[in-house]
Chain A
Amino acid sequence: MMGVVTYAIWLALIALSLAAAALSLDPQLGGPHRRWWWQGLALASAAVLALSPHVVTFSQQELLVFLTINTLVVVSYRLLALTGEFSLGHVVMMGFGAYASALLSKQLAIPVPLSIILAAGLTGLVAFVLAFPLFRMKGFYFLIGSFAAGETIRLLWKAFIGPKGISRIPGVPDIEIGAWEINFWEPVASYYLILVIAAVSIWILWRIEHSHVGLTFHAVHWRDQLAGAVGVNTWRTRTQALVLASFFAGLAGALLAHYITTVNPNRFAVHEMVFVLIWVIVGGTATIWGPIIGLVTLTAINEVLLRDIGYDELRPLFYGVLLVLAMLFLPNGLETLPARLVRHFRRAKLLASQR
């Protein structure tokens, strides 16, 4: 029974994010009741997200925590991708936040909530410094440059902190309100905390994308020389995107570090970055929902379905096949699937009415 509920929750999460992508991509969808559709979707999402940890198993609660952290990683990654630049250093930025918060809280005894915020800020600052050499490059050269920068940072952790990383990192402190105690060791409590942080962060990222600043990101992506000719400082715009994306990646890393209480350099190596790229590519980058769809769908297949049917060892193979299929049949990502289906039905309806 628990298994059925678990699958229902994962399917609901995928369906809700697909519906949100469909509404974002098709301005005609919903017609005059479009606002109601959005409100209904928001309510349904809130209900599923609030209820889900109470109806799944203990290990699935853990998965939900990591899913929420990874949501922040992929959505922040998309912000940089809006400027047309794909980085291979985003997971290292996440790791920087993890290391910074671990060191601040463990070595300097800074309270964990403050160390998380400071770590995110420091990650943004490092990204700002990296922007000077990195944005002398574009496209493929930027991709390789970001990989080199990321590896340099990762190897510095190894050299100065050690290959084993840091363990026994303090967790988020418990909260006591009268007789009511919230213990963040429990995955449910951590899930709600991280969910709230992720929701606020995603809202901020959404607002940025739809602001004047976000529009310049798009302009720099599609017409950077034209944007420059009309007075947009393209270097500053790309730097803004990198700093903001890194800030939220650092935040995600800090949350991860205090939850699992350990960090090590291998956790943020390039093979982990490949997973982020796959989530984003399979999901799509046209809307903020695309990377979330990719993340949720692939996590459900990889961590729930394939483990349940006992194909642990074959999971990388399935991952590869899925990526190839997505690239072949949905090159713009899973997020375009509902819109394509809607178009297909509209066309069929039109043809039927013409007969």
Chain B
Amino acid sequence: MTFGSVDRRRFIGTSALAGAAAATTVHPGRLRAEETVRIGFLAPLTGGVAAWGLPGLYGCEIWAEQKNAAGGVEIGGTSYNVEIVSYDNEYLPDKARTGAQKLISEDGVSFIEMLGGDTMPAVTPIANRAEMLVSTLLPSDLSPDTPFLVAPAEVHPIYNLTGVWWMAENMPEAKTAVICAQDDALGRPSVATYLAAFEAHGIEVKDTIFFDISTTDFAPVMTAMLAHKPDILCLDTAYAEFVNELCKQAFVQNYGGQIISCTADFYADIIANTSEEFMEGVIFQFPDFDDPALNSEDINFNDPNGFFEVYNERHPGQWGAVSWEYASILDLWLDGAQKAGSIEPAAVLGGMKQGGKGAHAFGEANWWGEELFGIDNALVGNWPVVQIQNGKAVIVEFKSIPEWWGEHSATMIKHFEAMGEMWYQRA
């Protein structure tokens, strides 16, 4: 048997030599790293919620690769290569429990990144026992019972208020809104936030419609929303495929008003399913990282434009809300570890929270959350408002969440309580 002009024996021999050479040739930068630090990635990589897990894993792998190529990371006088160890929890609590046990007891990770939500209650007791530092994208997982849990990248759903705030300032003619949301741990606190933000800015909410996550036909949902003739359609924090379907339905049913959503993941697909004109002006909260606004000095994410370019080369069409978030958490973890001079989880937590401030991706931020979550483990500062302009996501302004909170905290707490989402109301 031959492979082109090469016979089989020669092919195997050459391959073996090449393999041996590859195994023994180490990148010059890697020679400097003395040890390896392992970071666990415990999020949905398959199933309906994978869009908020898998793109994040891709981002972390790029982050680790860039650090390792630069000779690893320096912590407490030791140089470490970073290895990302992933476990697909399928957004199920039992699989998350098994994954946490594996990452902690077998893989020896020093830190675990999670999406949070439904999977967090099964992991919290394990993390507490092992005193393992865990991060979540959903601060609504935080409570006084979760001392080792931090929300350092995303203050979901609180940042959603920035979109409403910007809209109220720039589109004063929009006076009525209808909200729809999936009825789950992501949807409900987000509804509370939007209700508070709309109330704070004098926008009347005509109706709030919850749908189940097993919903496949969004025509009735959209018909019920449009029956109120709203100026604003609020899609809340719907899963990526739901946002796509809801936009399609709004397009089919000739909606011509403003749309606001927490995410618009894979928005190029949504435009392809509707039209550029229809999606023009849609407001959401997650920028593309090639945005020039991210080159400002206040931004702490290292080379966002370069990261975006590498990401899109490797995973074209896969950029979404979480693509940069998990990677930005790694920046904060590294910052904490370097301050602490250790990779020990408790020490890193101390380093992260040193001085009550942290270098969030979008600028310096405060550790906050006592009033809403019962613990100051969420990092809160500025958040971008993003608008689709000519088929492209563009940052229109950064808004300060603490500034809004200073004026309207009572309104937010009122709506969180009404929705049963305050930490002391959870079952």
Contact = CB atoms under 8 A, between A and B. Distances in A.
B214 A313 contact: no
Contacts of A166: 427
A15 B106 CA distance: 27
Interface stretch (A118-126, A129-137, A155-163, A174-182): A155-163
Contact of A316 (B46, B92, B102): B46
A261 B54 contact: no
Secondary structure call for the A interface:
helix
B88 A59 contact: no
A313 B54 contact: yes
Contact size class for A? 35 or more
A59 B105 contact: yes
A179 B73 CA distance: 48
Given A58-B105, A162-B427, A264-B93, A312 B86 contact: yes
Contacts of B214: 151, 269-270
Interface string A180-200: 000000010000000000000
A261 B213 contact: no
Contact of B98 (A66, A162, A261, A316): A66
Given A313-B46, A315-B88, A262 B106 contact: no
A162 B118 CA distance: 12
Interface residues of B, number: 37
Contacts of A151: 212, 214
Given A269-B214, A312-B45, A59 B121 contact: no
B9 interface: no
Nearest to A163: B184
B102 A59 contact: yes
A276 to B, nearest CB: 14
A302 to B, nearest CB: 10
Nearest to A103: B427
Given A66-B98, A267-B93, A161 B427 contact: yes
A298 to B, nearest CB: 14
B284 interface: no
Contacts of A261: 121-122, 125
20 contacts: A58-B101, A58-B105, A62-B97, A62-B98, A161-B427, A162-B188, A162-B420, A163-B184, A163-B185, A256-B94, A260-B94, A260-B122, A261-B121, A262-B93, A263-B93, A264-B185, A267-B93, A267-B118, A312-B86, A316-B46
Interface of B: 45-48, 50, 54, 86-88, 91-94, 97-99, 101-102, 105-106, 118, 121-122, 124-125, 145, 183-185, 187-188, 212-214, 420, 426-427
